[in-house]
């Protein structure tokens, strides 16, 4: 397993060692001890979620307020996405900055997103299966988010906006400056 910190403190790209042969492939998708040894982070998974989406589905940018904030380890089981996370930690030197990465079933890359970040993705293939490992339980009353096209964030989505499939809830999310006045 290779672990590389992004320019956002505590946010890591994880590339597993993939073993291929005539039968297919095998890789260790998560190892608590190795992850802790390489990052210093004690990431205890308490909930795992999965979504299945067609091409153009944009989910996010979501986060949960304290005390239900969640760190997430995300990966694509089938298909391909552009995954984006935004640092919402007010005291962070990278507050409001984002990191984007293509995750796919071909590259098996994962992204660790610490607590205090908004997270979203857009699917680039039909029938994409996306997995989220979380270190805290979901709590509906603490869910929040930022609109995907917030001009302050200046996110570069790889599809034209008219191809997006977005929930009504996500279309009504506020801008970053509204949340953090």
Q: Which of 80, 82, 69 is nearest to 117 (CA)?
A: 69
For residue 63, count other CB atoms closer than 10 A to its CB: 25
- 98 as an active site residue: the answer is no
- Sign of the C-alpha dihedral, residues 2, 158, 87, 147? negative
- 132 as an active site residue: the answer is yes
Do 73 and 45 meet the contact criterion of CB atoms below 8 Å apart? yes
- Return the structure tokens found at 95: 């507050």
Would you put residue 120 in left (φ > 0), alpha (ψ -120 to 50) or beta? beta
Do 145 and 118 meet the contact criterion of CB atoms below 8 Å apart? yes
Catalytic-labelled residue, pool 12, 63, 132, 148: 132
Catalytic-labelled residue, pool 62, 98, 119, 133: 62
Q: Between vectors from CA 145 to CA 139 and to CA 147, what angle results, nearest 5°?
A: 155
The residues carrying an active-site annotation are: 62, 132
């Amino acid at each position: 397993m290779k672990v590389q910190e992004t320019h956002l403190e505590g946010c890591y790209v994880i590339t597993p060692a993939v073993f291929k042969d005539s039968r297919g492939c095998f890789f260790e998708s998560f190892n608590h001890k190795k992850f802790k040894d390489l990052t210093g982070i004690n990431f205890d998974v308490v909930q795992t979620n999965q979504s299945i989406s067609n091409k153009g589905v944009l989910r996010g940018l979501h986060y949960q307020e304290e005390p239900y904030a969640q760190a997430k380890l995300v990966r694509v089981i089938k298909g391909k996405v552009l995954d984006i996370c935004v640092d919402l930690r007010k005291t962070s030197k990278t507050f409001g900055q984002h990191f984007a990465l293509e995750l796919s079933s071909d590259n098996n890359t994962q992204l660790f997103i610490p607590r205090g970040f908004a997270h979203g993705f857009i699917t680039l293939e039909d029938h994409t299966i996306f997995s989220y490992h979380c270190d805290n339980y979901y709590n509906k009353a603490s869910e929040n988010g930022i609109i995907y096209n917030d001009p302050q964030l200046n996110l570069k989505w790889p599809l034209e906006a008219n191809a997006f499939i977005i929930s009504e809830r996500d279309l009504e999310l506020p801008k970053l400056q509204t949340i953090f006045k």
